[in-house]
Amino acid sequence: MSLPRKHLFSIPEGVIYLDGNSLGVLPAAARERAAQVIGDEWGQQLIRAWNTADWMSLPQRVGDRIAGLIGAPKGSVATGDTLSIKVFQALAAALDMRPDRKVVLSDNGNFPTDLYMAQGLARLIDKGHEIRTPAPEDVPDAIDDSVAVVMLTHVDYRTGRLHDMAAITRAAHDAGAVMIWDLAHSAGALPLDIAGSQAEFAVGCTYKYLNGGPGAPAFIYARPDIVEDLAPALCGWMGHDAPFAMELGYRPAMSTERLRVGTPPIIQLSILDTALDVWDGVSMEELRQASIGLSELFIAEVEKRCPGLRLASPRDPAARGSQVSFAFDQGYAAMQALIERGVIGDFRAPDIMRFGFTPLYLDKADVRAAADHIEAVISQEIWRDPKYQVKSRVT
């Protein structure tokens, strides 16, 4: 089956959705799966469903499916919690692997929660760790043998700028540092080879390109050869070697499962499981080519029609994830006007209009139609309407 696969999704009439990089659309089969897990499994099987509906292995089964999308082996991905929690776990374990070094190297384009979690962890362990945040393009030069951990988001959430995963991981390892990749804007957007990169850790969320729904559970990958020596910071019972033995002492599972924490969110995990069905048989290389086709067309159309918008993403598609950002000083109001017209992207302060490209459910006709609306909003200055200036939106 080729792309797009619009029939597998439930997309509102009249909407061109360019925000799948923030919250993916509803897979058509998700409603049915939710009704099943709620009505039948919870409602009818009740506590027995841990066994009869195999809720017990659901986190692992979903992890294995995500592993397949990020180039990781089965059994290497644990699911649950939020991405913030998974960042904390990866960073705590990574710092534990380099006790003599005190620098966490990230960048100032990283998504803030990653930096916040690092700041909180550094304060908590109170051993003088420093978090360095150079500009993204200065990261390679900032890797030296003072660095304990390099922690980066692969695709910049504002600009779509892509780090070179293989090269940076190699540089980190050459300097003796541990590598953590945040795949929030990569999983389901790009071909990934996490195992081949040799990075120790990767984390990500599933409500963007993986369409798991609002607040869907996150995931964490640990390189299989380090798992048995890895010290979990969040020692929850679901990461215990024998959770139902109810022992008083923590003994971590001898697998990536030690990075699980508490009772899994069964309903959202089930919906995510069904959301992952739409990936069956998708070639990530084909998806990437389709994404580049859409974003290149979008840039060309918008630049031709709206000279007042400045491209804020890398022009080279090989240096870009699956989103395109334009800077415009009236970007907030312009985005509100676009949303009212059914072209849904989003805005990031101070002046970034973001548009995400999701070839599973977008085609070139969508992109051209979106460009028509953008041209109208900009050239006719529709954004001047005072109603679009009111900053009531929180996202």
Q: Which of 9, 207, 219, 328 is catalytic?
A: 207
CA distance 232 to 252: 8
Render the burial of 54-85: b for 16+ CB within 10 Å, e for the rest.
ebeebbbebbbbbbbbbbbeeebbbbbbebbb
Q: Count interface residues toward a copy of itself (CB under 8 A).
A: 94
We find the least distance from the C-beta atom of residue 42 to a copy of itself, in angstroms, to be: 5
For residues 132 and 105, the answer to whether their CB atoms sit within 8 Å is yes
According to CB under 8 A, which residues from 144 to 183 bind a copy of itself?
Answer: none
Whether residue 328 lies in the annotated active site = no
Tell me: does residue 44 bind a copy of itself (CB under 8 A). Answer: yes
Minimum Å distance from CB 207 to a copy of itself? Answer: 7
86 is catalytic: no
Report the residue from 3, 25, 210, 312 that binds a copy of itself according to the rule CB under 8 A. 25
| Burial (Cβ within 10 Å: 0-12, 13-18, ≥19) of residue 105 | buried
Which DSSP category does 105 fall into? Answer: E
**389 makes contact with a copy of itself (CB under 8 A):** no
> Contact 178/201 with Cβ under 8 angstroms?
yes
Query: Segment near a copy of itself (CB under 8 A), from 42-50, 160-168, 288-296, 364-372?
Result: 42-50
List the alpha helices (DSSP H) in the chain: 30-35, 49-52, 58-70, 83-97, 112-125, 139-142, 165-174, 194-197, 266-275, 284-305, 331-340, 364-379
User: With respect to a copy of itself, which residue has the nearer C-beta, 229 or 316?
Assistant: 229
Q: Tell me how far, at minimum, the Cβ of 58 lies from a copy of itself, in Å.
A: 10
- Whether the CB-CB separation of 201 and 172 falls below 8 Å is answered with no
The count of C-alpha atoms lying within 13 angstroms of the C-alpha of 145, restricted to the half-sphere facing its C-beta, is 2
Q: Is 111 a catalytic residue?
A: yes
Subset of residues 115 to 134 that bind a copy of itself, contact rule: CB under 8 A: 115-117, 119-121, 123-127, 133
Between CA 122 and CA 393 the distance in angstroms is: 33
**Contact map string, positions 64 to 103, toward a copy of itself, x by CB under 8 A:** ----------------xxxxxx--x---x-----------
Please say if 387 is a catalytic residue: no
Cis (ω within 30 of 0) for the bond into 350?
yes
Count CB neighbours of 211 within 10 A. 28
Selected from 1, 225, 229, 246, the binder of a copy of itself by CB under 8 A is 246
Min dist CB 112 to a copy of itself, Å, is 5
Query: Which residues ranging from 180 to 239 are in contact with a copy of itself (CB under 8 A)?
Result: 205, 207, 213-218, 231-238
Q: Are the C-beta atoms of residues 149 and 94 closer than 8 Å to each other?
A: yes
- 354 noted as active-site residue: yes
393 binds a copy of itself (CB under 8 A): yes
Q: Which of 33, 65, 208, 341 is catalytic?
A: 208
Cα distances from 309 to residues 312, 354, 364, in angstroms, run 9, 12, 21
* Residue 387 lies near a copy of itself (rule: CB under 8 A): no
245: contact with a copy of itself by CB under 8 A: yes
Residue with Cβ nearer a copy of itself (73 or 243): 243
Site string for a copy of itself, 270-309 (x = CB under 8 A): -x--------------------------------------
Q: Indicate whether 257 belongs to the interface with a copy of itself (CB under 8 A).
A: no
| Integer Cα distance of 158 and 312 in angstroms | 8
For the chain, report the end-to-end CA distance as a whole number of angstroms. Answer: 35
Q: How far is the CB of 380 from a copy of itself (least distance, A)?
A: 23
Selected catalytic residue, list 354, 361, 366, 388:
354
Contact track, a copy of itself, 324-363, x by CB under 8 A:
---------------x----x-x-xx--------------
Report, in this order, helix, strand and coil percent for the chain, each rounded to 5.
Answer: 45, 15, 40
Residues annotated catalytic, as ranges: 111, 182, 207-208, 354
